[in-house]
A and B are shown apart, each in its own frame.
Chain A
């Protein structure tokens, strides 16, 4: 092991030395460093698409219309209290077992689950035979109809990919226009330059067109994606 560590240190030195030689025609590193550090500390913004400059209501409509175009189902509910019954109804509609796997997300846990006593909730990361998983997104992005999930004990990453059916709950307060608003939220929530292990941007069920160019949903990840959008 120590031999390999040593090799990597030598390789690293060599790697950077070669880069410096290749960059020799430009300004020296010392002269460039300030600029680079400034960019990393205060990332400059780039032009945003016009489509994110809309009213809250239009952003919500746009989010919905992109997501539906990407083969997802979206159900709007008037408030958090309606989430458990909306989930139960969707499971019934699709002939799915009344059992979901979820993490220890506090917001999800606080929902009034007792209104639907037949709905079974199991905690933990996804198991091979789980059929339905439930996650709580940190953001809904209107720009492309995209949900953003941050991994952790509250929302384990495997829930997003292992079960055939994935339900994602997102609150209207977390609806944003562009991707850039997600970066701002991540920096606020986890600290500048810090990230959870995995941040997933999800824009529909899994799909492929690798066989004869025909679009098929349910390639490796979920066959169905149901988004519950909580108004208010």
Chain B
């Protein structure tokens, strides 16, 4: 997928001014946050399980070579074809070849963020002449608008019901023009009828994987709609595209992490469907795919092992970090400019496409820390964003004015006495101009005060107040 992450600031400005987007975001976010809190409270073990889940993934990554070998061996024994793709281009080519070998014309797809990452649909359409149909309802809504998902589990969260209706009327022209499409259920039903035809005629079904289990060689998908299951059960060939960090050792490890996934994502006790697929259909089976392929993708992830960003490989793509992020909540997912939005995107995107392209993203954070608080896998997202800020500074990619500002501040921060001396003079000086407890304009801080006031200092510095308070405590 092409990136516009370098254009983040302009993207964000457009998003903030988009009334339709703001209405969609305002309506939906409250629900996901409240539902997660409710589901967490209904499982007293939730917090303890986060530590267990973190340990499982850390252990898996520390032994990824061995678990990948075991997974491959068990998957092959059950009749799977396992393919290794180091890059996005490798993965696209492998999948196109499988589709060609299957004489495919129509390809249905379950939801897969990795397929977005590798730009699969465009490639299969352009290079392969295939009809590629997204079957997750949200993905379908996005596909027919030629957009990309704006959220990793709710791809069409940026769209209002009215927009969906307009799209259906524009595209489904074979249906009566005067049909009633007032209720969400009527829109869902129309999509159901159209996609049902595609399920029944598809030659290849492509899904992602939420997990791969080494013990059994299984790939796992988790859905509410059942579209992934129709995708992978009705076509003759089932292709799974999965990145290396989806691996877990055993079924017990799987169920432990599953307890966190749905609760963190939508606030459900569990998703409606959780499916383990192992190999192709058995000799006597009357249905299911005759061919089963798994494409294991690296695409830069191995480089993160042993780096300060390794923790990000624990991510299970639940979306809790973006649901709780004030920045995501204000601008939605498209402004981030690539596949993964929100805090996880701000860490993952620079790792996968480079800090030069995506350096704005780790800066798009208030460091409020909510993302780390809710991450089921305890990924220290703000810390990782800070590492990217350091990397960006070290690479010299920042504009001169930022560099100068940061270096000036750093100089004072490294010389505490000088810092205190300047603060002692500066703070009372500023408070002289304080009339209403805040500044509406400040020299050199125009981009701050243009949007909000700066609180005015109240006369003494924090250090002075702290010293006084400590003295008070001790006496």
Contact assessment for A195 and B78 in the assembled complex, using a CB-CB cutoff below 8 Å? yes
Asked if A44 lies at the interface with its beta carbon under 8 angstroms from chain B, I say: yes
Contact with A along B49-90 (1 / 0, CB 8 A): 100100010000011111111100010001000011110001
| Given A8-B83, A210-B141, A211-B184, A197 contacting B226 (CB threshold 8 A) | no
Q: Which residues of chain A have C-beta atoms less than 8 A from B233's C-beta?
A: 157-158, 161, 198
| Given A162-B230, A211-B137, A197 contacting B277 (CB threshold 8 A) | yes
How big is the B interface, by class?
Answer: 35 or more
Q: Which residues of chain A have C-beta atoms less than 8 A from B368's C-beta?
A: none
| Given A128-B200, A216-B185, A219-B192, A196 contacting B256 (CB threshold 8 A) | no
Q: Which residues of chain A have C-beta atoms less than 8 A from B286's C-beta?
A: 103, 124-125, 153, 156
Would you list which residues of chain B between 264 and 323 have a CB under 8 Å from chain A? 266, 269-282, 284-288, 296, 298, 302-303, 305-306
B36 CB → nearest A CB, Å: 14
Q: Which residues of chain B have C-beta atoms less than 8 A from A209's C-beta?
A: 154, 224, 266
Asked if A6 lies at the interface with its beta carbon under 8 angstroms from chain B, I say: no
B267 CB → nearest A CB, Å: 11
Contact assessment for B285 and A221 in the assembled complex, using a CB-CB cutoff below 8 Å? no
Contact assessment for A220 and B195 in the assembled complex, using a CB-CB cutoff below 8 Å? yes
Minimal Cβ-Cβ distance residue in A for B189:
A218
Question: Looking at chain A's contact residues, is the secondary structure mostly helix, strand, loop, or mixed?
Answer: loop
User: Once the chains are docked, how many angstroms separate the CA of A129 from the CA of B190?
Assistant: 17
Q: Which residues of chain A have C-beta atoms less than 8 A from B187's C-beta?
A: 211
Out of A29, A36, A125, A197, name the residue touching B279 (CB < 8 Å): A197
Contact with B along A175-187 (1 / 0, CB 8 A): 0001110010010
Out of A12, A49, A212, A213, name the residue touching B43 (CB < 8 Å): A49
Contact assessment for A39 and B249 in the assembled complex, using a CB-CB cutoff below 8 Å? yes
Contact assessment for A206 and B225 in the assembled complex, using a CB-CB cutoff below 8 Å? yes
Minimal Cβ-Cβ distance residue in A for B244:
A19
Would you list which residues of chain A between 190 and 231 have a CB under 8 Å from chain B? 193-214, 216, 218-222
Out of B154, B226, B284, name the residue touching A220 (CB < 8 Å): B226
| Residues of A within 8 A of B (CB-CB), count | 84
A220 CB → nearest B CB, Å: 4
A197 CB → nearest B CB, Å: 5
Minimal Cβ-Cβ distance residue in A for B64:
A19
Out of A179, A199, A206, name the residue touching B272 (CB < 8 Å): A206
User: Once the chains are docked, how many angstroms separate the CA of A221 from the CA of B135?
Assistant: 12
Task: A23-B306, A152-B285, A183-B251 are known; give 4 further A-B pairs, CB within 8 A.
Answer: A158-B233, A198-B288, A207-B272, A219-B137
Interface residues of A (CB under 8 A from B): 1, 4, 8, 11-12, 14-16, 18-20, 22-26, 29, 32-33, 35-36, 39-40, 43-47, 49-51, 66, 69-70, 103, 124-126, 128, 144-146, 151-153, 156-158, 160-162, 178-180, 183, 186, 193-214, 216, 218-222
Q: List 19 A-B contacts (CB under 8 A).
A: A15-B86, A19-B68, A22-B306, A40-B250, A44-B252, A50-B45, A151-B285, A151-B288, A153-B284, A195-B218, A197-B279, A197-B282, A201-B274, A202-B272, A208-B225, A214-B184, A216-B188, A218-B185, A218-B188
